Amino acid sequence: MKVAVVILNWNGETLLERFLPSVVSYSEGADIYVVDNASSDGSVAFLKDAYPNIRVIQNEENGGFAKGYNDGLQTVDADIFCLLNSDVEVTPGWLEPIMDLFQSHSDIAIVQPKILDLNQKDHFEYAGAAGGYIDMLGYPFCRGRIFQALERDEGQYNDTKEIFWATGACMFIRRNVFESLHGFDEDYFAHQEEVDLCWRAKNAGHKVYYVGHSHVYHLGGSTLKNMNPKKTFLNFRNSLYSITKNLPRKKAFPIIFLRLILDGIAALRFIFQLKFDHCWAILRAHVSFYGNFIKMYKKREKANFLLKYHTTTSIVWSHFVNHIKNFNILVKD
């Protein structure tokens, strides 16, 4: 199997300088590409000067995460794409366990490694942790991370396990599956497009896995900080997009109604915290969602919908009311 490590870059020259050395050193046997989203800094010049063996693909515009990868991957020659954030430090032997899993299980289409925090290396990182899940209402969370509560890595997730979604910070996907799903949904622009892609893959009968014996360190927040109002807008809106696209009508409509109520409560919570810009972001997210509802509804998959897609009923209730911060307390395997 031929694997390509593909890094999406936008004005990230300093990140490339810092993180490319580990990728180059520890990605034996893989081709390395950088897809540049029309950067205005010195990224491309730096790459051509310092890393002439890395293949640079220059997009004509900054179309965000979704369009950036969709455009760039068209010219990447590989059986397996590894979509890697520019702020990820990889480790020796990180590729082997994942490639072994692809080789031995043809039904596995998407894989992620363990994602640890670069600044606190014994803790899981927000974006992906030990594999992604969603609750019945479509809110995403991870093993090792529930909202802002991050667990210490004590080997509790050193397993190989089927998950619901893999993080876009470090996602391996078979090329033929990516192409059959027509890539990421570009209407998401950024954030949760990987949740939607994995959901569509599972609706099509593919499996998504986590491999705990491969780990990387993620800086996180390089593009948008976790508590940036734009990220709040994208996360709330795009989550509603995924529900509309990937659930049967009988489930999707009641859940959208419940989300209207719960998202309203979240907006009130931001008001009490004096975070008015986040409250406004949630309101704008719903306005944008309802304005694009028909467009999203027309994208619904023709394949059979998953009847069992969630791990728990309400992650919001479990975390904020029952004060659960640990995945193994929330979900008993």
Tens digits of residue pLDDT in 105-126: 999 999 999 999 999 999 999 9
- Alpha helix stretches (DSSP H) within the chain: 13-26, 43-50, 64-72, 96-104, 175-180, 193-203, 229-246, 249-272, 276-291, 293-297, 315-316, 327-330
**What pLDDT is recorded for position 60?**
95
In this structure, the answer to whether residues 63 and 186 fall within a common structural domain is: yes
Q: Measuring CA to CA, which residue among 185, 142, 169, 163 is closest to residue 309?
A: 163
**What pLDDT is recorded for position 316?**
86
In this structure, the answer to whether residues 302 and 193 fall within a common structural domain is: no
Backbone dihedral region for residue 327 (phi beyond 0: left; psi -120 to 50: alpha; all else: beta) = alpha
**What pLDDT is recorded for position 333?**
56
Residue where a domain stops, chosen among 218, 245, 262: 218
Residue where a domain stops, chosen among 160, 185, 218: 218
**What pLDDT is recorded for position 58?**
97
Angle at CA of residue 88, ends 84 and 89, nearest 5°: 125
Sheet containing 145-146: which strands, arranged edge to edge?
A: 132-134, 140-142, 145-146, 149-150
More confident residue, 217 or 313: 217
In this structure, the answer to whether residues 105 and 242 fall within a common structural domain is: no
Q: What is the DSSP pairing of strand 149-150 with strand 160-162?
A: unpaired
Question: In this structure, are residues 284 and 268 in contact, taking their beta carbons and an 8 Å threshold?
Answer: no
In this structure, the answer to whether residues 240 and 210 fall within a common structural domain is: no
**What pLDDT is recorded for position 332?**
66
In this structure, the answer to whether residues 118 and 139 fall within a common structural domain is: yes
In this structure, the answer to whether residues 140 and 266 fall within a common structural domain is: no
Give the DSSP H or E segment for 58.
strand 55-59
Question: What single string gives the DSSP state of each residue in 180-231?
Answer: HTTSS-GGG-SSSHHHHHHHHHHHTT-EEEEEEEEEEEE---SSS-TT-HHH
In this structure, the answer to whether residues 249 and 319 fall within a common structural domain is: yes
Q: Whole domain around residue 259: which residue ranges?
A: 229-330
More confident residue, 27 or 328: 27
Rounded to whole angstroms, what are the CA distances from 141 to 102, 125, 276, 308, 330?
25, 12, 24, 16, 11
In this structure, the answer to whether residues 199 and 251 fall within a common structural domain is: no
- Band of the pLDDT at 313, cuts 50, 70, 90? confident
In this structure, the answer to whether residues 104 and 125 fall within a common structural domain is: yes
Whether the predicted pLDDT of 202 surpasses 90 = yes
Count of structural domains within the chain: 2
In this structure, the answer to whether residues 205 and 111 fall within a common structural domain is: yes
What pTM was computed for the model? 0.94
**What pLDDT is recorded for position 225?**
54
Query: Is 223 part of a structural domain of the chain?
Result: no
**What pLDDT is recorded for position 34?**
98
CA distance 236 to 259: 9
Query: Is 166 part of a structural domain of the chain?
Result: yes
- Band of the pLDDT at 146, cuts 50, 70, 90? very high
In this structure, the answer to whether residues 319 and 181 fall within a common structural domain is: no
**What pLDDT is recorded for position 79?**
98
- Band of the pLDDT at 320, cuts 50, 70, 90? confident
Query: Is 224 part of a structural domain of the chain?
Result: no
Q: Read off the pLDDT of residues 73-105 as tens digits, 9 standing for 90 and up.
A: 999 999 999 999 999 999 999 999 999 999 999
CA distance 103 to 19: 28
**What pLDDT is recorded for position 312?**
87
Residue 75: which CATH number?
A: 3.90.550.10
Q: Read off the pLDDT of residues 210-267 as tens digits, 9 standing for 90 and up.
A: 999 999 999 986 555 557 899 999 999 999 999 999 999 889 999 999 999 999 999 9
Residue where a domain stops, chosen among 218, 244, 267: 218
Tokens encoding 143: 């093993």
Whether the predicted pLDDT of 53 surpasses 80 = yes
Query: Is 200 part of a structural domain of the chain?
Result: yes
Query: Is 100 part of a structural domain of the chain?
Result: yes
Give the DSSP H or E segment for 35.
strand 31-37
**What pLDDT is recorded for position 281?**
97
**What pLDDT is recorded for position 226?**
58
Rounded to whole angstroms, what are the CA distances from 14 to 18, 50, 54, 55, 316?
6, 13, 17, 18, 37
Residue that has been written with the tokens 């300088």 in this structure: 17
In this structure, the answer to whether residues 238 and 162 fall within a common structural domain is: no
